[in-house]
Amino acid sequence: MDEIRQFQHPFGLKSHLEIAMGIEMNFDTTVRLSGGKYVQLGAGHKHIKGWDNLDYPKWDAETMPLPYNNDSIAGIASYHTLDHIQRVIPLLAEIQRVLMVGGWFVNIVPHYDSELWHSDLTHKSQFATETWRSVFSTRHYDHAAVEGHTDWKMNIEFNMIMGFTERNTVLVTKLVKGI
């Protein structure tokens, strides 16, 4: 017989989701780390005040390294950008390189099964809930070795499909750089 799990009184939507899904979700505040900069990749027309908002032509995600020193960035956000990049793994290696230990990367992209993904002919890479676990593990092959960079230090802190309608779902992910 299955064990009965006890939950505290739900005080917010997060609590209700955790009870319904049977998992603990990390909706913690995205902390500001002292001494670091914040960067948005592929900003387009949506700039975040006080951040470096990188976009083409200043930065070409397909060919240019991130213009920052190692371990100098506290947080990076990317909204509907990585799905437009052909070779995502070298960019992930760049993100890991520039993030400080404890630094975070928040990424939101269309889920591969979403109308959002299928209706845009400029999309080049698909993302599923298992994408990050697959990239950062060696259960199939060592992505880091194949792409020619060091071992992964990224930890998956949050990873969930979300959407306002079934046809327009996105994958919301927060990765944190470990030691």
Q: Which domains does the chain have, with CATH numbers?
A: 61-177 (3.40.50.150)
Residue with tokens 């698909």: 126
Which pLDDT belongs to residue 148? 63
Mapped onto helix, strand or coil, the DSSP state of residue 16 is helix
The pLDDT score that the predictor gives to residue 144 is 59
pLDDT for 15 equals 79
pTM of the model: 0.84
Sheet containing 99-110: give its strands across.
Answer: 52-54, 37-41, 73-79, 99-110, 169-177, 154-163
CA distances from 68 to 54, 73, 76, 85 (A): 11, 8, 12, 20
Q: What is the pLDDT of residue 73?
A: 97
Q: Beta 154-163 vs 169-177: how paired, if at all?
A: antiparallel
pLDDT for residue 18? 77
Give average pLDDT by consecutive 10-residue segment, the chain, 179 residues.
78 78 70 82 92 90 93 96 93 96 95 92 94 82 61 92 89 94
pLDDT of residue 53: 95
